[in-house]
Structure 1
């Protein structure tokens, strides 16, 4: 029998209010945002508990950045309510909200040292010189840049400048830190390094992070929970494992990584399931044609029509006799430089077990 997720409709509802019934750090109730005739966000309900690393993931134009800007106060909702720590801030100015925002453009002052950049917000708030210096040191220590306090921004790498921007935001001790694709300008290797550092910083400071990204791997790496957006609505909210392994909609299955989406009619023929199903490529095994499948396995005969080498793994695209195309991701454990174990044109069986199948509820 095919495994299904437990009432996936629950994953599209708001999350828990917080520990011991405390108000959520961020709560949105019935939020709409329209720009003229265009609806950017529609009927949005969401709760982000205190201390959570929460990511809003989706393609460009899906509404995630608009939501972030409404939480920050840079945009006002057309309708609905925004609460921070239980207080209604829907009409509150950005500077009166206990949040801070880090953008992709770090916006550091080029004529100020790193320490002076980090101290800027405290100077505006007229914090005394001695207290300011102490807090700047602590903030730079949190991002491991205390030894570079007197350098200028142009003397730092992209990753170091990103950490300065984080320190400048964190020094004001906001209850919520909003991050709008802050790693988007970094190259792949530095971006991956900063993902690890960003998660560690969030754990160290213990405040709520609300993070916007269009990068699926980044959202899975960083988040306690992920909200997947499309067309101004949340398609699904859940832990990275939930949204990846048990997508609530075909959009989530297709957007979050690579997935084998099998329509309901073909799923009915294969598995007797009267719904569309999703099988992740890494869950599909390829065995020689004629191999007997185990009782709990589904086997689809086909031909390897394409191979895609990705480094750690190879993706094999298999075309079945009925026209079904399946992708299998196979870990490259053969000897480097040797011929891949499966070649294009080979006849194979694409095999998976029933507990690796996610049933997608009808919309």
Structure 2
């Protein structure tokens, strides 16, 4: 993809390494409801930062406070070191892409993309050039004269993105912009969105409740729960090394061994998480590796999910495990494990990750 060229009227983003957004001790109350509770976040310039959590966890409220649509009850919000806590949305160098895209139905696509430039008084010739480049970047130059109603959901999403990016904000806020798309298109748009972010180098702050989406897109992820952040880290860090039981359960599927179960199986009293893809099912007579935990059990249920199959196994000790196996067998081969089969459930001891107590 071609990058949008810089001009005097479209300032370049700040260099990587600066702090683009600082949320310090922020609290937000709606009457008796505490939506966000004493929150601290630092988002680096140029990174793709996702705020992930279930509905009602506070992530969208934080995004709206960064945008200026809500004012914190307490605390401070800084954009590139400038306190904007009480600044109006139009006084902040940010742009927002909403889930419904908010395109003007009476304007053409080119006019929609040019809207912000028109408001800023950018000369017509410069507007046309920048709009052409923005549409080319999102690979939609051929729809410039159409109306939003003539575009698909994925195309409208890209137009909303082009309209936001053409102003070269220092921070782009995205409020579940892929939520209205079907699964196949959403997955395609994830790659395009990440490619565009890398191409333009602007800080993206992305809100989602989709765990896979956050892991796919992000440089770092903040996992929200009940108005607080449970953990911040790279996708690998939050998935492989969850710091709370909530993070372990919310990010994908896991086998969470409570203290007493971990003591019986692993010989340690701390809770542990074992991801299903790390759990192998083998013949009970197979030799045991000294580094493995081995538990005899029975297949209770199987779930075929295309690329992989999940097995629910009940061990002889009464603990239930989920094992996930990639479907690498040939299409006409019948799986060798079925419901009711006796198996040996095994995983490497160091694949069980301790989950700190709350």
Sort the TM-score into its range (normalised by shorter chain). over 0.9
* Residue 150 (str. 1) matches residue 145 (str. 2): yes
Query: Which residue of structure 2 lines up, in the alignment, with residue 215 of structure 1?
Result: 210
Query: Which residue of structure 1 lines up, in the alignment, with residue 167 of structure 2?
Result: 172
Per-residue Cα deviation, 1:329-363 (whole angstroms, up to 9, x for no partner): 01112221432110100111110012212110111
Query: Which residue of structure 2 lines up, in the alignment, with residue 294 of structure 1?
Result: 289
Query: Which residue of structure 1 lines up, in the alignment, with residue 4 of structure 2?
Result: none
Which of structure 1's runs of 4+ aligned residues deviate more than 6 A? none
How many Å separate the matches in 1 of 2:84 and 2:137? 29
How many Å separate the matches in 1 of 2:132 and 2:16? 31
Per-residue Cα deviation, 1:236-279 (whole angstroms, up to 9, x for no partner): 10100111111111101111100000001111121122210001
Query: Which residue of structure 1 lines up, in the alignment, with residue 134 of structure 2?
Result: 139
How many Å separate the matches in 2 of 1:301 and 1:236? 35
| Greater CA drift, 255-264 or 267-276 | 267-276
* Residue 274 (str. 1) matches residue 274 (str. 2): no
How many Å separate the matches in 2 of 1:57 and 1:73? 20
Unaligned runs of 5+ in 1: 1-17
Q: 1:95 aligns with which of 66, 83, 90?
A: 90
Query: By how many angstroms is 1:288 displaced?
Result: 1.2
How many Å separate the matches in 2 of 1:352 and 1:135? 55
Query: By how many angstroms is 1:289 displaced?
Result: 1.6
Counterpart contact for 1:285–1:328, Cα < 8 Å: yes
* Residue 75 (str. 1) matches residue 107 (str. 2): no
SS at match of 1:135: helix
Instruction: Return closer, same or farther for 1:119/1:229 CA change in 2, 3 Å cut-off.
Output: same
How many Å separate the matches in 1 of 2:224 and 2:268? 27
Q: 2:242 aligns with which of 237, 243, 247?
A: 247
Counterpart contact for 1:183–1:194, Cα < 8 Å: yes
Query: Which residue of structure 2 lines up, in the alignment, with residue 331 of structure 1?
Result: 326
Query: Which residue of structure 1 lines up, in the alignment, with residue 29 of structure 2?
Result: 34
Q: TM-score, normalised by structure 1?
A: 0.93
SS at match of 2:161: helix
Q: TM-score, normalised by structure 2?
A: 0.94
User: Alignment length, in residue pairs?
Assistant: 344
Counterpart contact for 2:16–2:46, Cα < 8 Å: no
Q: 1:119 aligns with which of 91, 109, 114?
A: 114
How many Å separate the matches in 1 of 2:62 and 2:72? 9
* Residue 312 (str. 1) matches residue 307 (str. 2): yes
How many Å separate the matches in 2 of 1:44 and 1:203? 28
Query: Which residue of structure 1 lines up, in the alignment, with residue 41 of structure 2?
Result: 46
RMSD: 1.1
* Residue 193 (str. 1) matches residue 182 (str. 2): no
SS at match of 1:130: helix
Counterpart contact for 1:122–1:172, Cα < 8 Å: yes
Unaligned runs of 5+ in 2: 1-14
Query: Which residue of structure 2 lines up, in the alignment, with residue 58 of structure 1?
Result: 53
Query: Which residue of structure 1 lines up, in the alignment, with residue 222 of structure 2?
Result: 227
